[in-house]
A = this chain, B = another copy of it.
Amino acid sequence: MGHLRYLTAGESHGPGLTVIVEGLPFGVPLEAHDINPDLSRRQGGYGRGGRMKIERDLAEIRSGVRHGITLGSPITLLIENRDWANWGEKMSVEPIDAEIPPVTKPRPGHADLAGMIKYGTNDLRNILERSSARETTARVAAGAIARKFLSELGIQIRSRTARIGSVPDEPELDPSKPSTWPWDAVEASPVRAITPNQAEAMVEEIDSARENGTTLGGIFEVVAWNVPVGLGSHVHWDRKLDAKLTQAIVSINAVKGCRDRSSLRKRWRARS
């Protein structure tokens, strides 16, 4: 087996998303039901917008698996955009006769402005359709394949929300035994908190933030166990595991924020 690699594709309101995962060995059990729960988890979350209800994301395996077992060949996943019917003209692959009014107002903190200048387009839709949280759906699907493969080797990966706003983390978790943490409670919680108390406090803080027209930051924790010692390497900068994980995380649009927004705003004002 070589190393795993993958490409994701698909616009936010295009026909759908595609991901090809190359490098998985022969013989791993894999079915759509190994992937779809992760897609559902991505769509959960207290206070998520309306689109999440439109789309019940489902992955269709189109290659690389036969009779429920991987073939060692590239795995294709298709995920339909269920709202596509409403976007056929605006997002038509083919040229159309109609005039579509361009989207022209770049949002701060997004790729909009840089993209417009780089591509020389006056229609933001040409940028925002790909620079979109929807793209992470394809990455979640690819990740579900990796997670399934790792589970065959006994490696488990779980995640939880450790903090939202001012709600503190649960102090009683034994960090030496993450496998004993109440992960079912996390999965059942609308905010992925590890106790009902924490969940309740988080929901309250979200409600209050929404009333005040603001948003909240937070901390999530991803835990893996049964991981062999020495993954990654200390010998060359681009093989270091922590640096690679950080790249993957920082590449998610919504994961970044600014600790001191007022300072950012001040800086932006100064620039204009």
A236 sits at the interface (CB 8 A)? yes
| A238 partner residues in chain B, CB cutoff 8 A | 247, 251
Q: Are B271 and A175 in contact (CB under 8 A)?
A: yes
Instruction: Give bound CA distance, A117 to B72, whole Å.
Output: 13
In order of increasing CB-CB distance, the 6 nearest A-B pairs are: A118-B230, A9-B74, A247-B247, A243-B251, A131-B234, A175-B267
Once A95-B31, A176-B271, A247-B243 are accepted as A-B contacts, the answer to whether A235 and B130 lie under 8 Å apart by CB is yes
Identify which of A36-44, A86-94, A185-193 touches chain B. Answer: A86-94
Once A119-B72, A247-B246 are accepted as A-B contacts, the answer to whether A14 and B130 lie under 8 Å apart by CB is no
Instruction: Give bound CA distance, A93 to B64, whole Å.
Output: 8
Q: Are B235 and A63 in contact (CB under 8 A)?
A: no
Sorting the interface of chain A by its residue count into under 10, 10 to 19, 20 to 34 or 35 or more gives 35 or more
Interface digits, A185-227 against B, CB 8 Å rule (1 contact, 0 not)?
A: 0000000000000000000000000000000000000000000
Interface digits, A32-65 against B, CB 8 Å rule (1 contact, 0 not)?
A: 1000000000000000000000000000011111
- Residue on B with the closest CB to A5? B7
| Secondary structure class of chain A's binding surface, majority of residues | mixed
| A22 partner residues in chain B, CB cutoff 8 A | 7, 9, 235-236
Chain A contact residues, CB within 8 Å of chain B: 2-3, 5-11, 14-18, 20, 22, 26-27, 31-32, 61-68, 71-76, 91-96, 100, 111, 113-115, 117-121, 125-127, 129-131, 135, 139, 174-176, 229-230, 233-240, 242-244, 246-248, 250-252, 256, 266-267, 270-271
Q: Are A11 and B251 in contact (CB under 8 A)?
A: no
Once A27-B119, A119-B72, A235-B74 are accepted as A-B contacts, the answer to whether A9 and B64 lie under 8 Å apart by CB is yes
Instruction: Give bound CA distance, A61 to B15, whole Å.
Output: 9
| A75 partner residues in chain B, CB cutoff 8 A | 9
Instruction: Give bound CA distance, A73 to B131, whole Å.
Output: 9
Q: Are A236 and B74 in contact (CB under 8 A)?
A: yes
Q: Are A72 and B233 in contact (CB under 8 A)?
A: yes
Q: Are B239 and A2 in contact (CB under 8 A)?
A: yes
Once A7-B20, A68-B95 are accepted as A-B contacts, the answer to whether A240 and B251 lie under 8 Å apart by CB is yes
Q: How far is the CB of A63 from chain B (nearest CB, A)?
A: 4
